Amino acid sequence: MYKLLHNLLENAASSLFILYQSFSFGVLLLSVLLGLYDEISGFPKDLHPVIFKLELFVSAIILFEYLGRLYLSKNKLAYVVHPLSIIDLVALIPFFQPFRLLRFVVLSARLFRITYRYRYVLIAYRDIFKSVSFELLLLLSSFPLVFLIILIVFYSIEKSERNPEIRSIFDAFYVLFITMTTVGYGDITPITWEGKVLAMITAVAGIFAFSSLVATMSAGLSNYVNMLRSGMLSYRDMKDHIVICGWNETGSVIVEKLKDYGRDIVVITTQDLSGYRGFHYKKGDFGSEEVMKDAGIDKAHMVIVLAEKLPGYSEDSVDARTILAGMQARDLNRNAVIVLEILLRENAKLIKRRNVADYVVIGGEVVGSLIASLVHGRVLANLIDYIEEHLEVEVLPAEAGKRIGEIERELEDKGYRILGVMKENRISYFPKLSHKLSEGEKLIVLREKSK
């Protein structure tokens, strides 16, 4: 259930997320448009039951998303009091009701919800239109002028012959537009042979224009999907995500472990990863500053640089590339957590002395240490398996001045166990029960994973 909800509501790289968000966006946009129409013109009374049932359906979708995100959130209280969650609760209220002020508040909440909750859908539409902007401008630069000339001539001819059905320029516009779309209601028809010829020209031009428009938008959508699969999209608008530079055997394991933490993941590599799922794919050399910016590194929460082994590269060359990428990531984002995977121990020592990264992992060393520990029995191996399968780590805020022993008694009923104390990037594990927390310190805790 957790994984399904995560893929539906939070994992922007999931196919389920894209499909559901497109559907939910369309339903919410329809409710906003209906609300605006009701404010301007008002619906007939016989339609009110149907509209109200549609409103209940929209409210049910918003409630489902609210409860789903509440279930996924690590800190339930922080989610409930978050401004966006409060806006979701306001948007839950059915729009069609007698209180006009409340109607305005609900409509505003739903409009804001469209711009934020469905920002990925809006960004996708923006990218699609941007990819075919030249073709659309080329089409729109010529056709409206031709239509305007036909409209003026058509109106002049039909009006001079006293066509009783064409009383204004809007009537002429209406009959030409309906003809152009090949609908042809027949309620208004030209009475002159010149008007009939212009109507035929308009029909042919309409077929060409609408066919070109549909073909252009289809090409834009197809181009967007191809760019998404081939890693050519830009993620500069993304925030607080995780960027993985490079790809190797470790990459798929990292993605599998990180994808349930509620953060988007962007992988940068020159390798073809179009067949993988669960993350955003940016194809390119992570040594390029522009490629890093396209992955949104300047706004990322964490940057992981893997030791990507390329043909013709020695271990020293791979480490040099990794170190340079880490330095460049640090220049672009001073606040991100930088993690480097290094192949050679000598290079790792150099990086630790220079403070290039927050964490340095020597490839193979961790696994080697674990295997060596098995000499002493299965205790350590069983402990690691238990932590991996049954426990999860969280960081909780704490009240300054309280002692660890006092806090541990309070957290025990909630299933938490204190593992350490963190202040900024400094961590002290297994603090004494008498330790008094200072301002800015947070607790690192363990608890059983939700079943």
Domain boundary among 201, 230, 259: 230
Q: What are phi and psi of 173, to 5 degrees?
A: -60, -45
246 with 294, same domain: the answer is yes
Domain boundary among 169, 202, 230: 230
Orientation angle between helical segments 365-373 and 379-390, nearest 10 degrees: 120
What three-state secondary structure class fits 440? coil
* Amino acid in position 100: R
Taking the C-alpha atoms of residue 369 and residue 105, their distance in angstroms, rounded to an integer, is: 60
Q: What are phi and psi of 11, to 5 degrees?
A: -85, 95
Nearest in space to 169 (alpha carbons), one of 154, 185, 186, 191: 154
CATH of the domain at 338: 3.40.50.720
Q: Is the pLDDT of residue 397 over 60?
A: yes
- Total residue length of the chain: 451
214 with 288, same domain: the answer is no
Upper half-sphere CA count for residue 171 (Cβ side, 13 Å): 15
Average pLDDT over residues 60-71: 87
222 with 211, same domain: the answer is yes
- Report which secondary-structure segment, H or E, holds 266: strand 265-269
Taking the C-alpha atoms of residue 276 and residue 260, their distance in angstroms, rounded to an integer, is: 16
Tens-digit pLDDT profile for residues 185-242: 888 888 888 888 988 888 888 888 888 888 887 777 777 666 666 556 778 878 888 8
Nearest in space to 195 (alpha carbons), one of 167, 164, 156: 156
Average pLDDT over residues 153-162: 86
Confidence of residue 381 (pLDDT cuts 50, 70, 90): low
DSSP state of 29: H
143 with 81, same domain: the answer is no
358 with 396, same domain: the answer is no
CATH of the domain at 158: 1.10.287.70
**Higher pLDDT among residues 349 and 34, named by residue:** 34
* Residue 34: inside a domain: yes
Q: Domain limits at 121?
A: 2-129
Average pLDDT over residues 142-161: 86
151 with 254, same domain: the answer is no
Confidence of residue 356 (pLDDT cuts 50, 70, 90): confident
Show the beta-strand stretches assigned E in 302-437: 302-305, 337-342, 359-362, 391-397, 416-423, 426-429
Average pLDDT over residues 282-300: 88
Is this model's pTM higher than 0.85 or not?
Answer: no
**How many domains, in total, are found in the chain?**
4
Average pLDDT over residues 414-437: 84
* Residue 237: inside a domain: no
117 with 163, same domain: the answer is no
Residue 205 has a pLDDT of 86
Residue 231 has a pLDDT of 59
* Residue 235: inside a domain: no
Q: Which residues contact 258 (CB under 8 A, 6 or more apart)?
A: 242, 265
Tens-digit pLDDT profile for residues 294-349: 888 988 988 999 888 888 888 888 888 888 898 899 899 988 888 888 888 877 77
51 with 144, same domain: the answer is no
Average pLDDT over residues 20-44: 83
Tens-digit pLDDT profile for residues 95-128: 766 666 777 888 888 888 877 777 777 777 777 7
Nearest in space to 235 (alpha carbons), one of 283, 278, 285, 276: 283
The pLDDT > 70 percentage for the chain reads: 87
Tens-digit pLDDT profile for residues 408-423: 888 888 888 888 888 8
111 with 18, same domain: the answer is yes
29 with 90, same domain: the answer is yes
Taking the C-alpha atoms of residue 417 and residue 409, their distance in angstroms, rounded to an integer, is: 9
Residue 228 has a pLDDT of 62
- From the CB of residue 375, how many other CB atoms can be counted at a distance below 10 Å? 6
Q: Read off the tokens for 75.
A: 């800190």
| Residue position matching structure tokens 């607790």 | 443
187 with 298, same domain: the answer is no
Residue 361 has a pLDDT of 84
Q: What is the mean pLDDT of the chain?
A: 81
259 with 357, same domain: the answer is yes
* Residue 342: inside a domain: yes
Residue 374 has a pLDDT of 63
Residue 366 has a pLDDT of 64
Taking the C-alpha atoms of residue 250 and residue 447, their distance in angstroms, rounded to an integer, is: 26
Q: Read off the tokens for 54.
A: 């549609």
DSSP state of 437: P
* Residue 236: inside a domain: no
